[in-house]
Amino acid sequence: MRHKSSQMEPGCEFTRFRSFPMASRAEPLITRQHVNVTLVDTETTSLDPASGEVVGVSLLCLRVAIDTGRVERVVASTHQWRQPISISPEVETLIGVTHESLKGRRFDERAINEVVSVTDLVIAHNADFDRSFLESVIPSLIEKPWACSMTDIQWRSEEGLKRASIDFLLSHYGAEPSSGAPGDDCRALAFLLDQPLPRSACTGFRRLIEAAAVAPRRITDGSETAGACRGRSRRGDDGGDRRS
């Protein structure tokens, strides 16, 4: 649940990901060489899953090469909104949509499950938050392995950065802040994880794929890159808000 600069409109696309071709049909692509990674962003009416509702979800599934940790193509994506039972004016301002604009909207479960069905790993920035809301709404996510791009990468203690928020990391890599519009945070996260980590000889994607144990631990025998990326725990010491 974050501030939005526009209402239900896609934000600026990061150049590298604008040119990737969409798969003609979604297919499982996990092999020793590739993993299908789905980035998730959730919009809610509260920070508490006991009282809040999911009103928006974005899923961006990317084919990532295990050896390089780089994105090769977009596999599938969907951005969905649904009408909540209630939403406060304060939350409307924060997420940039109104109860009236969401009237009559429902999640397209088929579209969502098509993306989830070809997913090998789910990644979110502050995954505990997204997972706590989404697994009751999208049951097909329950059996999927998750990784957290905010805490499973040691942005501060190992990579030497001051913060682990999306906008701070975008600034570090010379990119403009995410607009926060549906799908834009997913594209921003894709851009960030496709970059080499500041001090490690691997990308964020590669670090998270190994952390979640959905790829062989030893990717390249004797490789300094493989050694640098192995053995990371699922939990880190980086906290704070995922946006700022």
What is the spatial distance between Cα 195 and Cα 205, in angstroms, rounded to a whole number? Answer: 8
Q: How sure is the predictor about 217, in pLDDT bands with cuts at 50, 70 and 90? A: very low
Residue-wise pLDDT tens digits, 11-33? 333 444 544 444 434 444 445 68
What is the spatial distance between Cα 91 and Cα 162, in angstroms, rounded to a whole number? Answer: 29
Residue-wise pLDDT tens digits, 185-202? 999 999 999 999 999 989
Strand partners, 35: 64
* More confident position, 241 or 227: 241
Residue-wise pLDDT tens digits, 156-176? 999 999 999 999 999 999 998
Q: Are 111 and 59 in contact (CB under 8 A)?
A: no
What is the spatial distance between Cα 184 and Cα 11, in angstroms, rounded to a whole number? Answer: 5
Query: For position 95, what pLDDT does the model report?
Result: 86
What is the spatial distance between Cα 34 and Cα 77, in angstroms, rounded to a whole number? Answer: 18
Q: How far apart are the first and last CA of the chain?
A: 13
